[in-house]
Amino acid sequence: MPGYLDNGSFGALGCKLVTVAPNNANLEQPLPTINAHIMLFDDATGVLKAVISGTEITQWRTAAASAVATKHLKPSRKFEILAILGAGAQGRIHAIAFQHFFKQVRIWNRNRPRAERLVSELNQSSDSQEFKSFGCNRECVEGADVIVTATFAKEAIVQLEWLKEGAHVNGESRAIKVQDGVRVICAEKFKTAFTSRGYNSESFPVGAGLTHHSELSESIYLRGEVYVDHRTGAEVELAGLKELGVEFKGEIGSLIAGDLSPPPSNRITVFQSLGMAVEDCAMARLVYDLYKTA
Ligand SMILES: NC(=O)C1=CN([C@@H]2O[C@H](COP(=O)(O)OP(=O)(O)OC[C@H]3O[C@@H](n4cnc5c(N)ncnc54)[C@H](O)[C@@H]3O)[C@@H](O)[C@H]2O)C=CC1
Ligand SMILES: O=C([O-])C1=[NH+]CCC1
């Protein structure tokens, strides 16, 4: 993921290499599913300045982008309940990042003990015991003001009827049908490497979108107001949604800049996150500057 932040006093030129290995959680010594490194270059000379671990940066910057999207899409709403579907790395960091804005944080995972372990860890570091685990995704979502989906589910785990008026959803997974050309090239390229490691074609992390699949039901995208982080990227990576007739209302950056007004507060909103390289570059620059002044 190459990126460039064009800014005189806080410029950043970088490239993140990121891998997704869904089986890592099942290893005897579990590893993160998503691992990354960021190469940070001098934005004026192009000289390599640092290679920075990007695994935690990816977790934090993704949750930060969701928090910013939530704030700008629902500027006037008071939040009480947050529902997080997925108790992996993203679920955990979203819980930590969002907790102070909610009275209750609900966490569901398809394998409930993982949600219970996370809830127990989070409650130990909180005074109010606000984290609760759920065994049923519907119960977790019903009544929530904000929902975060952070799984690898290929079928919808959130239905439109479960959402209350004015709810906001942050969808993290980009496991949505991509354009044929992109998909086929990637799948073929990685086929040998992945089959030799025991994956079947269903589990190719790149090119998995042979059919439309998503954590959110199609009707959520069709009835909600859908915003993205990057429109050009979304036009390609979310081509399956475009084919369904889903309209992308705009980028979160346009809301922040004041070029777009937030939708009426009673509307269901969706932030479909793709993840932007420029977010990683900015974080890498921050880490680098802190390291240099430490
Ligand atoms: N938009 C963005 O910028 C980013 C998005 N992501 C996405 O966030 C999602 C979660 O990533 P991580 O938390 O790092 O992964 P993780 O492996 O740490 O956690 C994934 C969780 O989803 C659950 N899960 C896996 N398959 C499932 C299924 N079929 N149905 C229901 N639950 C399932 C697992 O039990 C686990 O708790 C992934 O879709 C990933 O691609 C991750 C990083 C950045
Ligand atoms: O933006 C990102 O780094 C990623 N998005 C999905 C997997 C990793």
Asked if 151 and 137 touch (Cβ cutoff 8 Å), the reply is no
Residue 185 pLDDT: 39
Spell out where the chain has E strands.
2-5, 12-20, 34-41, 48-53, 81-85, 104-108, 131-134, 146-149, 168-171, 225-228, 248-251, 269-272
> Are both 158 and 234 inside the same structural domain?
yes
> Are both 167 and 221 inside the same structural domain?
yes
Residue 282 pLDDT: 97
Q: What is the arithmetic mean of pLDDT over 202-219?
A: 57
Q: Which atom of ligand 2 is nearest to the CA of 20?
A: 7
Ligand 1 within 6 A of 151 CB? yes
Q: Give the separation between CA 62 and CA 46, rounded to whole angstroms.
A: 26
> Are both 122 and 246 inside the same structural domain?
yes
Please name which ligand lies nearest the alpha carbon of 176: 1
pLDDT at 49 over 70: yes
Q: Give the separation between CA 266 and CA 260, rounded to whole angstroms.
A: 17
The token pair that represents 13 in the structure block: 């030129």
Residue 193 pLDDT: 52
| pTM of the predicted protein model | 0.90
> Are both 11 and 75 inside the same structural domain?
no
In this structure, which residue's CA is closest to atom 2 in ligand 2?
Answer: 275
In this structure, which residue's CA is closest to atom 1 in ligand 2?
Answer: 275
Q: What is the pLDDT of residues 176-200, one digit of tens each?
A: 444 443 443 344 545 555 455 554 4
Ligand 1 within 6 A of 172 CB? yes
Q: What is the arithmetic mean of pLDDT over 13-42?
A: 95
> Are both 117 and 154 inside the same structural domain?
yes
Note the maximum CA span of the chain. Answer: 54
Find the domain containing 155 and state its range. Answer: 62-180+185-276
The token pair that represents 209 in the structure block: 């979108």
Q: Give the separation between CA 68 and CA 253, rounded to whole angstroms.
A: 10
For all residues of the chain together, what is the average pLDDT? 89
| Residues with C-beta less than 6 Å from any ligand 2 atom | 18, 20, 34, 58, 174, 275
